[in-house]
A = this chain, B = another copy of it.
């Protein structure tokens, strides 16, 4: 079955208009030796059967347990209105707003989204989204590379390791040097980092809070970058930005990040939302779509895709990025989320997430054999170390029904016994208490 409305009679009529004998006739341009044989696919099924199958698969995913897993992707609360509004068909089933007059809904929403990103980051302009936080960071660094025409990138290894992988993929094989500065504990190694900046440096790359959850003020590093003629590029967790010094206040030229926390379900990795914002000097260098305000023939305000001359469909191989489809609906979701939470509520989310983390840190910190690895302040996650391999600990917690975080050994040397654990406003005190008890019991028994 398919979703085609065609009846036999209609098909006949259409073939007559076309002047073809049969539908297969229409495919006569496909050479005989290229005709596909039998597909190794079953025939179509009804919605009932398909949903039955998918429900089984869904049930085979044990989502929804107590979870303190974060690492850049957080289980913040999503009000029902986010789904209800973003799934309205005008948003869901439209294409890119090339034709502005019949796409004002998307266009105005994107303009509002860009504004929200600017207000969060303190920067002058933002684009209408890229794929995710990782590709956003890569695009941000490419902006710096284009601008400075330099080939060296100094990146803090406290940046999410997955993002560093993505950056490496984007820049590999093109003569770039990517210098990773190993952390000092759970924080940037300031001295080494600043020393690494030289006049070949296109960009310094920082994440705040960093992958270990540590919060820092990077003004010294961005200043060092600027005096070397380099650009400062960062990746920022939007919920933390509700409280923290903005990228603008800290001297960043380009701020990027993952917007998943703003109303996107975890959904096993996507769709998420990459944002890119920059100072006014960099705006015409942004990747992807940008919406601008303008007027119609009668002077009424309206919105259009603007600066399209940067983009692939106009500039082709000289475009600022190859991106075409972006994460538009996710950007709209983020805007809806931020509107619902609001100026005050969004800060509350941030404060609560941090305070839950502080509470957990206090509680876990009291367990004798446990060491909290972060020495500087943290936001909503931190690293704790036990005497056992992290996987052993996580395995045991899992048996108690708790996903207790991320083992860091696979990403960082010397962190084999360390776990990255994170909290949001949804983390219930009783669950944190339960976890702390289970953890202590387990560690005591293993003694």
Give the interface of A toward B (CB within 8 A). Answer: 46-48, 51, 77, 79-80, 88-89, 425-426
Contacts and interface: CB of A to CB of B under 8 A. Distances in A.
Contacts of A426: 48
Contacts of A89: 88
A59 to B, nearest CB: 10
Contacts of A48: 77, 425-426
A48 B75 CA distance: 12
Contacts of A79: 47
Do most interface residues of chain A lie in helix, strand or loop, or is the interface mixed? loop
A400 to B, nearest CB: 20
Nearest to A76: B48
Contact of A47 (B46, B47, B77, B88): B77
A49 to B, nearest CB: 10
A425 B425 CA distance: 44
A393 B79 CA distance: 45
A173 to B, nearest CB: 46
Q: How many copies does the complex hold?
A: 2
A426 B426 CA distance: 38
A81 to B, nearest CB: 9
A46 B47 CA distance: 35
> Which of A47, A80, A88 has the largest count of B CB atoms less than 10 A from its CB?
A47
A259 to B, nearest CB: 20
A48 B46 CA distance: 35
Contacts of A425: 48
Contact of A80 (B47, B77, B88): B47
Nearest to A426: B48
Contacts of A88: 88-89
Contacts of A77: 46-48
A77 B51 CA distance: 11
10 contacts: A46-B77, A47-B77, A47-B79, A47-B80, A48-B77, A48-B425, A48-B426, A51-B80, A88-B88, A88-B89
A79 B51 CA distance: 10
> Which of A48, A80, A89, A426 has the largest count of B CB atoms less than 10 A from its CB?
A48
A429 to B, nearest CB: 13
Nearest to A79: B47
Nearest to A345: B46
Given A46-B77, A48-B77, A88-B88, 5 more contacts: A47-B77, A48-B425, A48-B426, A51-B80, A88-B89
Contacts of A51: 80
Contacts of A80: 47, 51
A80 B426 CA distance: 30
> Which of A77, A80, A88 has the largest count of B CB atoms less than 10 A from its CB?
A77
A348 to B, nearest CB: 10
A142 B253 CA distance: 78
Closest 4 CB pairs of A and B: A48-B77, A47-B79, A48-B426, A47-B80
A88 B84 CA distance: 9
A425 B52 CA distance: 14
A215 to B, nearest CB: 25
Contacts of A46: 77
A48 B426 CA distance: 8
A329 to B, nearest CB: 16
Nearest to A64: B55
Nearest to A80: B47
A46 to B, nearest CB: 8
